[in-house]
Amino acid sequence: MTLTARVFNDVADLPADFAVEHLPAMPHADGVLVCPPDDFDVIDVKNPYMAGQVGQVDRTLARRQWEALVTAFRDAGLRVERVPPTTACEDMVFTANQTFTGIDGAGKPLCLLSHMRHESRRREVPAFGEWFRARGWRIDDPTPATSLFEGGGDALWHPGRRAIWMGRGFRSSPGVDAVLAAAFEVPVFSLRLVDERFYHLDTCLSAIDEHTALIFPAAFDAQGLALLHRVFPRVVEVPEHEAERAMACNAAAFRGRYVVIERRAESTARKLQALGYRVLSVDTSEFMKSGGSVFCMKQVLFSA
């Protein structure tokens, strides 16, 4: 079965005998890229979580929380790389958004640059392009100039498989799913986001391993929900209060074993532990004031 470079919006688009095992294998990420929160702050309102939080960040506490998160990534067996912060880029700590990284059809690391919705965040992107270029990654910017694409916030790999999940509607434009499919030569499962509280895919979907996903169901339309349940044999639904107040679906999973998650997502953590995962709980409360948690604060890295 070949699904290369196709976009799937609905279960009806899939072959009748589809199974996740039909997707080609892909190495798991072995590292993460982070950015120190030197200038992290909430200075305006770009999403619903930022309302009422302007000037409310405890930057000393934020630094401690970020260092603890870095420790958790290392505890999960990851190498941790740092991109130097750009002065006056208060959101640069959320390193999932400026790029999307992966392995191309030739087996080489590829970095796609983002087209951010907000002007203040567009200033972050060049520093990431320079960082990846200096380390031998191929850099591409295939997104049409009139389209938006917010990198790893709206695109994530199906763990261990050559397939991408894409969220469209709030921060990434329709049609970018086809751009991703062509750039990486992989199938893309495209989901329409319908709740502004869950403006990025990484706020309502966490792919835990090739068979398991965490989701907040109300963030998707009926077609997207059906597609998630068809591709992932096991779907764990997150309660609304943990999806919104603890950003439970912004967990980050690694190598099919470790899950790093906000500590307030207690019932979700218990579910994951009961399924056999090693859960590493961290406090990201200062960063949630800006609408981000664990997944937002890292970009995945793949060895050449």
Residue type, 241: H
CA distances from 200 to 88, 170, 192, 255, 271 (A): 23, 7, 10, 23, 23
Q: How far apart are CA 66 and CA 134, in angstroms?
A: 25
Spell out a b/e string for 162-172, using b for 16 or more CB atoms within 10 Å of the CB, else e.
bbbbbbbbbbb
DSSP helix/strand/coil, 80 = strand
Q: How far apart are CA 83 and CA 297, in angstroms?
A: 12
User: For this structure, is 296 an active site residue?
Assistant: yes
Q: How far apart are CA 167 and CA 148, in angstroms?
A: 12
Q: Is 250 exposed, middle or buried (0-12, 13-18, 19+ CB in 10 A)?
A: buried
Catalytic residue, from 111, 115, 200, 204: name it: 200
Residue numbers annotated as active site: 200, 296
